[in-house]
Amino acid sequence: MSRKTLTRRQFVAATAMSSTALMAAPYVRGAYAAGKLSIGFWDHWVPDANKASTALVNEWAAKEKVEVSIDYITSQGNKLLLTMAAEAQAKSGHDILSSQIGWQPHAYDDLLEPVNDVMEPVIKQNGEVNGTVKYLGQSGGKWLAVPGTAGSQIKGPCSRIDLMKKYANIDVQEMYPAGSPPKADNWTMDTFLKAAEACQKGGFPFGIGLGQTPDSIDTAGAIFQSFGAELINAKGDITVKTDAVRQALEYYKKLIAFLPPDAPSWDDASNNKWLISGRGALIMNPPSAWAVAKRDAPQVAEQCWTHGFPAGPKGRFAPFQPFFWSIWKFSKNKEAAKSLLSHLSLPSSIERFVQASGGYDLPAYANMTTLKTWAEEEPPKGTLYHYPNPYNHQTLSIAAAPAPPKIAEQIYNQATLTKMVLRYAQGEKMEDTLAWAESECEGFMRT
């Protein structure tokens, strides 16, 4: 039997040919060739809204050959907040995690993967983001997280059309007509106060909380900002003892007289209950209360109209609460995570989020505020038209801004604003309230 020997020349040629063939051949990927990705999404209030995010993720995963697992984590009892804190401590967990309140990106800035490469094309495509999203999501020009559509919300007024007309002589539909710009020049803090008084006398007080949970804090934040009242300015200087803060406190003291007596103990469910039970003429909330009323109290829902915030001496501010999707630095599949977040930020994906949530979810981008869902939702038709601030006639803001985010987070979560207004309204001297707030702010400056 003859034995053919392989020459050096033949070996080199064979190797070169097989290498070329290997490189030129089409890449056939296996089922999950691009690895695994675990996602912790916020568990949506709106029934079936989670299905939209699951569908979007699965579509992307099938295309990109990534094995995904999604956990829907509730924000009830701050579970999502606890998850983020635990994963930050353990430096292990989901690749992508939603943040429940907008402060998280700054709180964990060292542990988050910068996402400029996601945000730059997304902004080009969807339009500029508002100032609050930049304030909360960016640090030194670096994007810490991607603004998430699911969960982001404006907590503006949701008024009862009939009660506002009857007791305050205000036609909210005329002031904020569906399909056209607001005619709300007279919708000022003074008008708001008079309306609050009239509705209270009519037996339907405005349902504004004075508790220590986000809904109460957000309203206080917008009212303070409309007077130009800042406890700490953008440079980090304490500015508690200013006329603007005094004016805001005086205004709140007058307003509290027309609010329900138990408002100091309200949580985020209280205002919803207040509206749905038919006891109040106005609350400050995203359309979740209206959505529940559609099911449980249709006669209330068909009288609800979501619209803009009243303007103060320094402008018209509406409480905005953006949610974010962030990628941990310790994620093992950052590229896939970024690819997914880009997919979730496509206009078509955003539209599906908004549709699935019945208009509750709010994209952060300028070109995405006129989707048909908000125009079509009913009853009554157009009730949500002005919810996404389509004419930019109000500044979307968050309480405690423009203080540096890590300090503002303390002011926000310790409910310093609502505590101040309560202290003063319950009889404490103005200067004592200001001194207390100043001392609190000094404590918040701790690094």
Partner 1 sequence: MADVVVEQGRLVRSTRPRKAAGLRNVLGRKSTVALFLTLPLILLIALLVLYPAFYSLYLATLNKAMTKFVGLGNFTFLFKRETFWMVVKQSCIFAITAVVFKALIGFIVAHFVHNIPGKKQRKWRGMLLVPWVIPPAMSTLAWLWLFDPSYSAFNYTLSFFGVGPIPWLGDTFWARFSVILVNVWYGAPFFLIMYLAALKSVPDQLYEAAAIDGANWWQKMWYVTLPMMRNIIAITTLFSLIVTFANFDIVRILTSGGPLDRTQLFATWAFQVGIQSSDIPLGACVSLFMVPILAVAAVFILRDVNKRGNEA
Taking CB under 8 A as the rule, does residue 415 contact partner 1? yes
- Least gap, CB of 77 to partner 1 (angstroms): 8
Under the binding rule (CB under 8 A), the answer on residue 76 touching partner 1 is: no
Residue 40 CB-density burial (10 A; 0-12 exposed, 13-18 middle, 19+ buried): buried
Nearest to 299 by CA among 276, 282, 280, 279: 276
CB of 313 to partner 1, least distance (A): 28
Q: Which of residues 96-125 bind partner 1 (CB under 8 A)?
A: 103-104, 107-108, 110
Phi and psi at residue 108, to the nearest 5°: -115, 30
CB of 107 or CB of 199, closer to partner 1: 107
Q: Is 238 helix (H, G, I), strand (E, B) or coil?
A: strand
Kindly tell me which residue out of 82, 243, 257, 392 binds partner 1, with binding defined by CB under 8 A.
82
Residue choice 18, 180, 233, 265 for contact with partner 1 (CB under 8 A): 265
Contact segment (CB under 8 A) with partner 1 among 152-160, 360-368, 387-395, 418-426 equals 418-426
- Residue 406 makes contact with partner 1 by CB under 8 A: yes
Shortest CA distance to 187 belongs to which of 418, 386, 399?
386
Nearest distance, CB of residue 439 and partner 1, angstroms = 6
What sign does the CA torsion over 314, 217, 49, 364 have? positive
If the CB atoms of residues 57 and 73 are measured against partner 1, the closer one turns out to be 73
How far is the C-alpha of 319 from the C-alpha of 366, rounded, in Å? 17
Q: Indicate which single residue of 279, 314, 334, 343 sits in contact with partner 1 (rule: CB under 8 A).
A: 279
- Contact between 267 and partner 1 per CB under 8 A: yes
CB of 413 to partner 1, least distance (A): 4
Question: Applying CB under 8 A, which residues contact partner 1?
Answer: 77-78, 81-82, 85, 89, 103-104, 107-108, 110, 210-213, 260-267, 273-274, 277, 279, 406, 409-410, 413-415, 419, 422-423, 436, 439-440, 443, 446-447
